[in-house]
Structure 1
Amino acid sequence: MNRLLMLFYCMTSCLIPCLAQEKVPSAVLQQLLRKERPDTAELRMLFSAGVSYINRPGIEPGDIDTASMCAAKLLKYAVNTGHKLWEGKSNLLYSKIFREQHDVVKGKEYILKAEAIFKEQQQKESLADTYVELCDYYQPVDVESLNMKLKYYREAAVLYGESGLKLKQADALYRLGDYYSFLPDYNESKKVLLQALAIFKEVHVEELQGIYNLLGAIYNQLGDSDNALKYVLLSLKTAQAVGDSSTQLCTIYNRLGMIYIRVDDIPKAMQSFQRAREIALRLKDTAAMQILARNIGQAYQKMNKPADALKILKEEERNYPPKSQENRILMFESILNAYCLQGDFKRGAVYAQQLEDLRRTMYPDDAYLEYVYTALVNYYLGIHQFNTAHQYAQVMLAVASKSGNLSFRAKSCSFLYRADSALANYKEALDYYRMYKLANDSLFNIAKMQKIGYLQVQFETEQKDQALMLKERNIELLTQEAQAARFTRNVIIGGAGMLIALLLLGYNRYQLKLSSNRQLKQQQDEINRKNQSLQELISSQNKLLGEKEWLVKEIHHRVKNNLQIVMSLLNTQAAFLDDKDALNAIRESRYRMQAISLIHQKLYQSDNVALIDMSTYINELVVFLKDGFSDVNRIKFDLQIAPVKLDVSQSVPVGLILNEAITNAIKYAFTGNGTIIVSLQPTGNDVLTLVIADNGKGFPDGEIPTQKDSMGMMLMHTLAEQLDGCLDIKSCSGVTITVRFKYQEKETIDKPVQLEENVADYM
């Protein structure tokens, strides 16, 4: 049962200090990957980006590829410059990549290289990070692997402490304390977790519900119900204070319920389990619901209600059938125990057989054999197969003696006593009974002390509540007596006071009138002064706004003129070139600059220097592109543009995408007559969809060119990313390019505006 509690905690709890990696924008990352000699800050960004892609949920090929490019860039820099630190960092990143791909051999090879480099360079923080990564190569399935995890976490915690990295040190101690409970070594786990808690408080971490919850579990295993209840209640209070409604809150309520079961407070345990189950249902956490169903079933069995236990367990099995072997063992064991308690061994036979099948596939030191043997021995005793029950109970006793689990030992001796008694082995039965009584008496004393501690806490709480109520009642009586005395005194004083008040009232009213007049005059003077200052500020502001608008228009004008100069220079250069490809490149560059130039022209000619009227802009851009090609009269243009206004950050990418798509359609789409449709319409909440479609011949063989095939394709993909949108290209009866992106300006869009020529029966 101890191992189950720890496994459930590890599945559902989140580590407090989530050491998140800084997110690097994809455009910046591409520039860093292309840069020949990145500086130290850029190398850190590359490493951080690689780790962040590895830490994303799931295993996506794109994430792995990006992380691999970052690692390769770091390794190339390290080889070219001889910088050992970045060679170690690249090996650490490669280890994470291969481990994520489940290639343990290669991953371990790289992490050991990183460890050697960081030791040689005396890089304590990086070496500690390496030890934390090494821990992930050892799963806590046996003592040897668990000891390796403990060793590396201990070394990481020491190195973080020597480096002054308190948050990382506390996180390493937190994990170390968690895995000590797997041995189980609860005293050492408690010691380490209390150290971690002190450091978390020192660095002012607020979300401490996870470590409080784990401490409550450890104290519960140590038999200290007072501290167990204290820390789990602290965990619940902290979770509610920080607004935690995640799976961790479900874990806290589950832990609270198990503590209440330990002290035989079944109603409170059921209340806690039900709250945990509500959260698990809301979050659709199947694993948590399965464990909670088992715990609720055990509570019903403690109340001798096997029918209620079977109802919830069977419902859980039907709605959320267990997938993993561990969950299947726990589910089948709980159902079989409930059938045995009910005396329905016929229906329990199916689950007994499934547990037998699972037992044959398990290792001898598997912790879950405890549940398998307990349920099977209980079943075989019920159906009078005493030899089989005796054999399994002896295995249980051997495991209990090895682990020192007193409760498991008492249960094993009880089974052996019952089996030997049924087999007429009275001497052995008497020996096992004595062993059972010895273990059970020890358990009883422990449980008694726990119950006494729990009752003492309840008694002290009730005493405090009663003292508080008595104190409040005394205060209320004293208050009433004081009010009566004050009333009598006030009546006497009131009579004399009334006379004095009447004499002073007239004088007081006169003084109040004078004071009121003086205050009104001062207030009026202050209002006049503030009005004058406000008028001056408004005048100054209007002047500054006018100057700002003029300056912005002047900037747009000059940008437009500079672009026109560049276009003229390109035209001049083209006159001296004979190479066809060079001339095409110059002409395409001139079209792109004209697309940007039109935007700045619209801005300085418009009263609104921030937004571009896309319907007018796209119309003029299409006219310009038509004028730039010969024999373009055979192509009709159908413009369906909504009255949208975009700022420069969005209108420039849109214009360039239009330029690339329309230019390519004019040049390559048609062998004869054809139509190009340009549409910009709202689709959904704050989303605009840009479509450029033609009914030409489409791409050869229907294959869409990649970004590597042409600069135009790469440019359109990059511009779509700049818009935070998505680009879709289809080739069917022509080419259709679709770009969807968020619309930033919040203006009403009535209906599409039809411009230029309309084409009927298109497509």
Structure 2
Amino acid sequence: MNRLLMLFYCMTSCLIPCMAQDKVPPSVLQQLLKKERPDTTDLRKLFNTGVSYVNRPGIERGDMDTASMCAAKVLTSAVNIGSHLWEGQSYLLYSKILREQNDLAKGKDYALKAEAIFKQYKQKEALADTYMELCDYYPPVDIERLNIRLKYYREAAVLYGELGLKLKQANTLYRLGDYYSFLPDYNEAKKVLLQSLALFKELHVEELQGIYNLLGAMCNQLGDSDNALKYALLSLKTAQAVGDSSTQLCTIYNRLGMIYIRVVDIPKAMQSFQKAQEIAIRLKDTPAMQILARNIGQAYQKMDKPAEALKVLKHEERYYPPKSPENKILMFESILNAYCLMGDFKRGAPYAQQLEDMRRTMYPDDAYLEYVYTALVNYYLGIHQYNTAHQYAQVMLTAASKNGNLSFRAKSCSFLYRADSAMANYKEAFEHLRMYKLANDSLFNIAKVQKVGYLQVQFETEQKDQALTLKERNIELLTQEAQAARFTRNVIIGGAGMLIALLLLGYNRYQLKLRSNLQLKQQQDEINRKNQSLEELITSQNKLLDEKEWLVKEIHHRVKNNLQIVMSLLNTQAAFLDDKDALNAIRESRYRMQAISLIHQKLYQSDNMALIDMNMYINELVIFLKDGFSDINRIKFDLQIAPVRLDVSQSVPVGLILNEAITNAMKYAFTGDGTIIVSLQPTGAGYLTLMIADNGKGFPEDEIPTQRGSMGMMLMHTLAEQLDGSLHIQSRDGVTITVSFRYQEKEIFDTPVAVEDNVTDYV
């Protein structure tokens, strides 16, 4: 996620203001400038007045002249009274004046003079103030100057902390955290910002919207969406409470929208961006409008509306063209991504070339290279220049590994996987796919640990009856929802929950047994009761095992019965429908449910309640599908099924893929006689290949449907991904659908096994 409006707004409006400087009226200032021997109080007033004139908005000659007179008076007086402290302060004021006038070389010399004096005479607060001034002479245009700036901020924060100047320390830590994000080192930035927040709260500072906003951005960069959203909402709440309507509020809404995009809540993201856009238009803030146009375009792309995104971006490019290199990168990257999503690589080529030109002039550690490389890799993958795409993706991975950005790392591994797959580097592709999954899983690791802990506490405190009631309630909920796209997922979750419940119940009984044994050992005078208690415990354990076996069978039986009820409801509903499309949808849903129902029927009828005999299951599934079609006598089936046993997590996706492929073949493949081959064979160590082939008319040339072609195709692709496998469709002398996936049962096949077709043909 991009770091939008980071430096611009933080330095102008997001920083919590430091303590106000003393300022005297012009008449009093004239008296101080004419005074021959000003005392320490007078010198302090002169110094603070000079600083206040320097800090006025804009660069007015009269302001700088007044500040220069104050600096000259402080320097002259300091020399006359021999005060090294005020001599250093005058140099510090001269540095501020010259920096404001853009005379950086001379201004920096004065700051270094002040630093030398304060170090020599151990003036810690003044030395820390000088470090803060020196920071402004090192803009973060490259890593070397950025590190120098960070060093000064760290040293200033330490000195303020030693002196107990908590407000100055908090503001310094705030700036330090902001600039850590430019390395980028988001973990350190978050750590420093939390220290700053604690100090501000200790001082009862109310205007904390800026630091909350920046903390939300850091958590978003680290992939910690929960905390990112928490801090972003705190920032918005604080800004509304203090009546903030400045550009800072625009920044808050913008970052809130980016967080909503990360958690895939696009409607809320669009609402946040539109509110930010209203503020930017009201304030005539062109840079903010440019950035918001890019973010709105990004939201449209997430909604799979690249044409809408391109419309917004091109309007912004035409009427508010970006000026700075950073804004140009963000605009060109968004437009190129939109063209890539539309498949219009020819119109995207000029933007790719401009990004290439800018890339060659950027520093290797420039944070904006992330956006340049992301857009270029997408483009080169689209135009099949896989070597270039692979090279850029590798650079992205190196940068992600250096800064610890898990989201960036996952994106880089995904690009490398696609490039390796296209170049047939399957070993490297598999490794990058593994790295992608690890990075993606790590993004939500904390949330998952918290959820697992909650489930453990919940299950340990529940009784067996409560657990059964919960499972029945879940089954009823699944039946009521009856949505095919979510049904399979919920069944798997319910099965996993039941397994966890059984394990926890067994563990709970085991703990009870241990406690009973311990008590029996401590009671030597009740040896006779010990044997009786042990026998009772053994009897109870056997009973629990019997109950567990019955429970599992009963669950599968009830799932199968409930599926049959849903199928009956669908058949009843079909009797009242005249719409052919609705009838076809109900019919297809019935086939899918029957495929799942057969699995649960096999489980409760079999002695082995964990694995499905795929040979028997596929035979019965084909018989059911043939019964559902008329004029089926012209189609023959050739089944080649190895003696394979799969668990529910794999047999359900396999059954649904078979259902989709066979029904599609029977409906569309043949105009006359034909044959459908169904094969499930081992193809290597630990892998199975499922193949459904027909000798029908096949797909028209160059019209093999994609994942988005229909619900059936989308379902088969989704189920293949659930199996961690790959799905391929070929149209040559008919249609062949192949799914290869890892086989989880510990069996080894030396050679493929052919099984004779024992499915009755309707002749």
TM-score, length of structure 1 as denominator length: 0.56
- Tell whether 2:156 aligns with 1:156: yes
Q: Which residue of 1 aligns with 2:428?
A: 431
CA contact (8 A) 1:410 1:437 kept: no
CA contact (8 A) 1:225 1:453 kept: no
Aligned identity (percent) is 79
Change over 3 Å in CA distance of 1:399–1:168 after alignment to 2: closer
C-alpha separation between the residues in 1 aligned to 2:324 and 2:452?
A: 40
Distance apart, 1:90 and its partner CA: 0.5
Distance apart, 1:89 and its partner CA: 0.6
Distance apart, 1:447 and its partner CA: 4.4
- Tell whether 2:463 aligns with 1:446: no
CA contact (8 A) 1:22 1:48 kept: yes
Distance apart, 1:420 and its partner CA: 4.4
Q: Which residue of 2 aligns with 1:115?
A: 115
Q: Which residue of 2 aligns with 1:350?
A: 350
- Tell whether 2:396 aligns with 1:396: yes
The amino acid across from 2:14 in the alignment is C
Change over 3 Å in CA distance of 1:398–1:215 after alignment to 2: closer
CA contact (8 A) 2:407 2:443 kept: no
Q: Which residue of 2 aligns with 1:203?
A: 203
C-alpha separation between the residues in 2 aligned to 1:283 and 1:331?
A: 21
SS of match in other structure, 1:426:
coil
Tell which deviates more after alignment, 158-167 or 259-268: 158-167
SS of match in other structure, 1:282:
helix
The amino acid across from 1:295 in the alignment is N
SS of match in other structure, 1:367:
coil
Change over 3 Å in CA distance of 1:401–1:209 after alignment to 2: closer
CA contact (8 A) 1:413 1:433 kept: no
C-alpha separation between the residues in 2 aligned to 1:197 and 1:409?
A: 29
The amino acid across from 2:34 in the alignment is R
Distance apart, 1:315 and its partner CA: 1.6
Distance apart, 1:9 and its partner CA: 5.4
C-alpha separation between the residues in 2 aligned to 1:151 and 1:43?
A: 30
The amino acid across from 2:443 in the alignment is I
Change over 3 Å in CA distance of 1:184–1:273 after alignment to 2: same
SS of match in other structure, 1:408:
helix
Change over 3 Å in CA distance of 1:95–1:379 after alignment to 2: same
The amino acid across from 2:185 in the alignment is D
Cα-to-partner distance string for 1:355-400 (whole Å, 9 max, x where unaligned): 1222232223322222112212222222333443344334333333
CA contact (8 A) 1:177 1:190 kept: yes
Change over 3 Å in CA distance of 1:198–1:401 after alignment to 2: closer
Cα-to-partner distance string for 1:219-256 (whole Å, 9 max, x where unaligned): 22333332222222111111111110011111111121
Tell which deviates more after alignment, 105-114 or 271-280: 105-114
C-alpha separation between the residues in 2 aligned to 1:137 and 1:454?
A: 48
Q: Which residue of 2 aligns with 1:58?
A: 58
Q: Which residue of 1 aligns with 2:669?
A: none
Change over 3 Å in CA distance of 1:445–1:46 after alignment to 2: closer
Q: Which residue of 1 aligns with 2:410?
A: 410
Distance apart, 1:87 and its partner CA: 0.4
C-alpha separation between the residues in 2 aligned to 1:27 and 1:3?
A: 47
Cα-to-partner distance string for 1:332-372 (whole Å, 9 max, x where unaligned): 10011001101122221221222122223222332222211
The amino acid across from 2:432 in the alignment is M
Change over 3 Å in CA distance of 1:447–1:314 after alignment to 2: farther
- Tell whether 2:210 aligns with 1:213: no
C-alpha separation between the residues in 1 aligned to 2:412 and 2:30?
A: 64
Change over 3 Å in CA distance of 1:444–1:298 after alignment to 2: farther
Cα-to-partner distance string for 1:5-33 (whole Å, 9 max, x where unaligned): 74465356421134333333333323322
Change over 3 Å in CA distance of 1:53–1:297 after alignment to 2: same
CA contact (8 A) 1:414 1:433 kept: no
- Tell whether 2:144 aligns with 1:147: no
The amino acid across from 2:146 in the alignment is L
C-alpha separation between the residues in 2 aligned to 1:341 and 1:285?
A: 30
CA contact (8 A) 2:4 2:291 kept: no
Structure 2: stretches of 5+ with no match in the other structure: 455-763
Change over 3 Å in CA distance of 1:22–1:455 after alignment to 2: farther
Cα-to-partner distance string for 1:21-59 (whole Å, 9 max, x where unaligned): 333333332332233222222211211121112112222
C-alpha separation between the residues in 2 aligned to 1:454 and 1:74?
A: 64
The amino acid across from 1:440 in the alignment is K
C-alpha separation between the residues in 2 aligned to 1:17 and 1:149?
A: 20
The amino acid across from 1:16 in the alignment is I
Cα-to-partner distance string for 1:485-512 (whole Å, 9 max, x where unaligned): xxxxxxxxxxxxxxxxxxxxxxxxxxxx
C-alpha separation between the residues in 1 aligned to 2:72 and 2:292?
A: 47
Q: Which residue of 1 aligns with 2:14?
A: 14
SS of match in other structure, 1:37:
coil
* Match runs of 1:229-378 below 5 Å: 229-378=229-378
Cα-to-partner distance string for 1:503-549 (whole Å, 9 max, x where unaligned): xxxxxxxxxxxxxxxxxxxxxxxxxxxxxxxxxxxxxxxxxxxxxxx
CA contact (8 A) 1:226 1:454 kept: no
Distance apart, 1:433 and its partner CA: 4.0
Change over 3 Å in CA distance of 1:456–1:312 after alignment to 2: farther
C-alpha separation between the residues in 2 aligned to 1:186 and 1:445?
A: 16
Change over 3 Å in CA distance of 1:452–1:221 after alignment to 2: farther
The amino acid across from 1:181 in the alignment is S
Deviating beyond 6 angstroms after TM superposition, the runs of 4 or more aligned structure 1 residues are: 451-457
SS of match in other structure, 2:14:
coil
C-alpha separation between the residues in 1 aligned to 2:445 and 2:334?
A: 26
C-alpha separation between the residues in 2 aligned to 1:11 and 1:291?
A: 17
Distance apart, 1:65 and its partner CA: 2.1
Distance apart, 1:142 and its partner CA: 3.2
C-alpha separation between the residues in 2 aligned to 1:114 and 1:448?
A: 50
Change over 3 Å in CA distance of 1:454–1:70 after alignment to 2: farther
C-alpha separation between the residues in 1 aligned to 2:352 and 2:298?
A: 18
- Tell whether 2:79 aligns with 1:79: yes
Distance apart, 1:435 and its partner CA: 1.2
- Tell whether 2:180 aligns with 1:180: yes
CA contact (8 A) 2:413 2:432 kept: yes
The amino acid across from 2:424 in the alignment is Y
Distance apart, 1:401 and its partner CA: 3.6
Distance apart, 1:306 and its partner CA: 0.4
C-alpha separation between the residues in 2 aligned to 1:383 and 1:281?
A: 38
The amino acid across from 2:374 in the alignment is T
Change over 3 Å in CA distance of 1:455–1:62 after alignment to 2: farther
C-alpha separation between the residues in 1 aligned to 2:452 and 2:245?
A: 31
The amino acid across from 1:309 in the alignment is A
The amino acid across from 2:23 in the alignment is K
C-alpha separation between the residues in 2 aligned to 1:28 and 1:304?
A: 66
Matched residue count: 454
Distance apart, 1:448 and its partner CA: 7.6
Structure label with greater radius of gyration: 1
The amino acid across from 1:446 in the alignment is L
Tell which deviates more after alignment, 140-149 or 113-122: 140-149
CA contact (8 A) 2:224 2:443 kept: no
The amino acid across from 1:436 in the alignment is L
Cα-to-partner distance string for 1:588-641 (whole Å, 9 max, x where unaligned): xxxxxxxxxxxxxxxxxxxxxxxxxxxxxxxxxxxxxxxxxxxxxxxxxxxxxx
SS of match in other structure, 1:364:
coil
SS of match in other structure, 1:323:
coil
